[in-house]
Amino acid sequence: AEAEKRGFPNYMLKEIHEQPQALRALIGDCLIKDEGDVLLEGLGLDDEALRSFDRLCLVACGSSWHAALIGKYLIEEQCRIPVDVEIASEFRYRNPIISETTLVIPISQSGETADTLAALREVKGRNRRVVSICNVIDSSIARESDGIIHTHAGLEIGVASTKAFTNQVVALYLLAIRLGRATGTISRNRGLEMIADLTELPDLVEKTLKLDFNAEEIACEHLTACDAIYLGRGICYPVALEGALKLKEISYVHADGYPAGEMKHGPIALIDRDMLVFVLAPRDRHLAKVRSNMEEVVTRGGRVIALCSEGDEETGKKAEFTLSIPWAGETLSPLLFNVALQLLAYNFAILKGKDVDQPRNLAKSVTVE
Ligand code: G6P
């Protein structure tokens, strides 16, 4: 029954719209509200064990790798512990350095991605601890890990990950709270704040989903574009990568994500009327810098689609289109930006007549190398 489209034209749109409920399923029963902490029983690590690690290593492929990159920004900031992020197919063949005090965390929706599974086995073979973030409980990665954070996104059928990605990021947010509370880098008050922000997230995702109409209009206007670049800074840089991946996966428009500060080192040479530039400009500590990057694009004749925070009337003024994204705090707002990017990519693909659930050449789960 879970596999029905429930009135949606395809699984992808259904799954995009399931994000609020998927989030509620994940955060529903693990919050310990009075203590500013969370319960992650599947981890199998008590406070003392958590304190014994001095480094995390997140390993994944595709969108799950982007979730890991977001995790690096948020865990390093909140927990002050170094986080390495690895592409599984590189990691497994590199004879990676994994000390006893490194906690390795594979991230996978399916739990069956060949490279991620091989990375896990490489680590287990060296007697190192592995805790995975996984959506399918009955999967090889979940089974072979010492502990697990189950992402509770439900069955995901669309090849391009949407709700599973969102829940992976929130699983990392929950891990940050747990780790920070165990090590003391997150105070009870800070934990309470983080939980309060998280509790509001599902409703804010719902609100963001209502931007749908605007997304269709933007896609319609730019349908002939064949190149796109996504720019973001800080935690929005991996969101830019994910936005670009989504567009290329389902609409076959060539797209790249770039840290906005790196634009001058290459992509700026590509900017002209045919290049779409998506700028992620939340009102966070990077806003002034992102705005000047946007100016640089506009000055060179680039067509900007700006994603700004609600209430910010200034930033998007010179853009062709502006989407106002609800504010969910510096750490969680990027997830709302990502939801808007999902809708934009979806509308591009639909208007181009593409099969969003089964894009050509792609598989939901890459189980062979
Ligand atoms: C494929 C899918 C992506 C997914 C990636 C990793 O490329 O199309 O949506 O992010 O595999 O899959 P996993 O199941 O390991 O998260």
- CA 110 to centroid of ligand 1, rounded, Å: 7
pLDDT score, position 167 = 98
Torsion, CA 32, CA 33, CA 37, CA 39, rounded to 10: 20
Closest CA to 111 of 136, 131, 93: 136
Candidate from 61, 89, 166, 357 with most ligand 1 atoms within 8 A of CB, to mutate = 61
Ligand 1 lined by 110 (C-beta under 6 Å): yes
What is the number of other CB atoms lying within 10 angstroms of the CB of residue 260?
28
Residue 364 falls in the annotated catalytic set: yes
Please give the ipTM for the structure prediction: 0.96
Which atom of ligand 1 lies nearest, measured to the CA of 110? Answer: 14
Concatenated DSSP letters of 30-82: TEEGGGTEE--GGG---HHHHHT-SEEEEEE-HHHHHHHHHHHHHHHHHH---
Number of helices (H) and strands (E) in the chain: give both, helices first: 13, 12
CA of 363 from ligand 1 middle (Å) equals: 8
Tell which one of 108, 113, 141, 250 to mutate to probe ligand 1, the residue whose CB is within 8 A of the most ligand atoms: 113
Alpha carbon distance 46, 60 (integer Å): 25
The letter for the amino acid at 164 is A
Q: Which of 124, 207, 318, 364 is catalytic?
A: 364
Contact 103, 131 (CB under 8 A): yes
Is 171 in contact with 151 (CB distance < 8 Å)?
A: yes
Whether residue 124 has its Cβ less than 6 Å from ligand 1: no
Radius of gyration from C-alpha coordinates of the chain: 20
CA dihedral (22, 24, 29, 31) in degrees, to 10, reads: 120
| Per-residue model confidence (pLDDT) at position 118 | 97
pLDDT one digit per residue (tens) for the chain, 369 residues = 567 888 999 999 999 999 999 999 999 878 887 899 999 999 999 999 999 999 999 999 999 999 999 999 999 999 999 999 999 999 999 999 999 999 999 999 999 999 999 999 999 999 999 999 999 999 999 999 999 999 999 999 998 999 999 999 999 999 999 999 999 999 999 999 999 999 999 999 999 998 866 778 888 888 888 799 999 999 999 999 999 999 999 999 999 999 999 999 998 999 998 889 999 999 999 999 999 999 999 999 999 999 999 999 999 998 999 999 999 999 999 999 999 999 999 999 999 999 999 999 898 989 888
| H-only helix segments in 92-150 | 114-125, 140-144
CA 350 to each of CA 12, 213, 243, 247: distance values in angstroms, whole numbers, following the listed order: 11, 13, 16, 11
Distance 70 CA to ligand 1 centre (A): 16
248 lines ligand 1 (CB under 6 A): no
> Ligand 1 pocket, 62 CB below 6 A?
yes
- Residue by residue, DSSP assigns 340-365 as HHHHHHHHHHHHTT--SSS-TT--SS
Burial class (CB in 10 A: 0-12, 13-18, 19+), 99: exposed
The residues, any chain, with a CB within 8 Å of residue 85's CB and separated by 6 or more, are: 57, 58, 60, 65, 68, 69, 71, 72
**Ligand 1 binding pocket includes 78 (Cβ within 6 Å):** no
Tell me, using a 6 A CB cutoff, whether residue 342 lines ligand 1. no
- Pocket of ligand 1 contains residue 40 by CB under 6 Å: no
167 lines ligand 1 (CB under 6 A): no
Distance CA 46, CA 222 (A): 52
- Specify the ligand 1 atom closest to the Cα of 141: 15
User: Is this model's pTM higher than 0.90 or not?
Assistant: yes
> Which residues is 83 bridged to in the sheet?
56
Q: Closest ligand 1 atom to the C-alpha of 116?
A: 15
358 close to ligand 1 (CB < 6 Angstrom)? no
Nearest atom in ligand 1 to 363's CA: 8
Angstrom distance (rounded) from CA 197 to CA 120 = 32
The pLDDT of residue 18: 97
